[in-house]
Amino acid sequence: MRFALVRIDRPGMAAARARLQAAHNEYQKPFLDRIVFGGGFVDDGTDTSGDVDIEDVTGNLLVFEAPDREWVEKFQANDPYTLAGLFETEIIKLLWQRVPAPDQE
């Protein structure tokens, strides 16, 4: 099953995000086989053709191939970003993939 995890930062958390980025990246490494794709949210007009300044990121989206919602909840609960209180909004939704169709990937 695929799940989307959408997280929006609390205002004023740019410095905390930057400080925790290395720990967050290390935390994700054992789960890379379950992460279908992911990325950060930035303001319109941000140049996304290369690296983006981590302090310009205001949240993120991760899509997982996971056995159940509880797996995603556990991932979320133990992420250094979550433990530091970075997020204002955290949404987990079961994803019904339509485009491209799973058999067309």
Domains present along the chain, CATH in parentheses: 2-45+55-98 (3.30.70.1060)
CA pair distance 91, 80, nearest whole angstrom: 17
Q: Quote the pLDDT of residue 77.
A: 98
String of DSSP letters for 21-90: HHHHHHHHGGGTTTEEEEEE---TT---SS---GGG--EEEEEEE-S-HHHHHHHHHHSHHHHTT-EEEE
- What's at 85, amino acid-wise? G
Whether residue 56 contacts residue 43, with contact meaning beta carbons closer than 8 Å, is answered with yes
Whether residue 54 contacts residue 46, with contact meaning beta carbons closer than 8 Å, is answered with no
Q: Quote the pLDDT of residue 101.
A: 78
pLDDT in tens, the chain (105 residues): 999 999 999 999 999 999 999 999 999 999 999 999 999 999 888 888 888 888 899 999 999 999 999 999 999 999 999 999 999 999 999 999 888 877 776
Q: Quote the pLDDT of residue 105.
A: 66
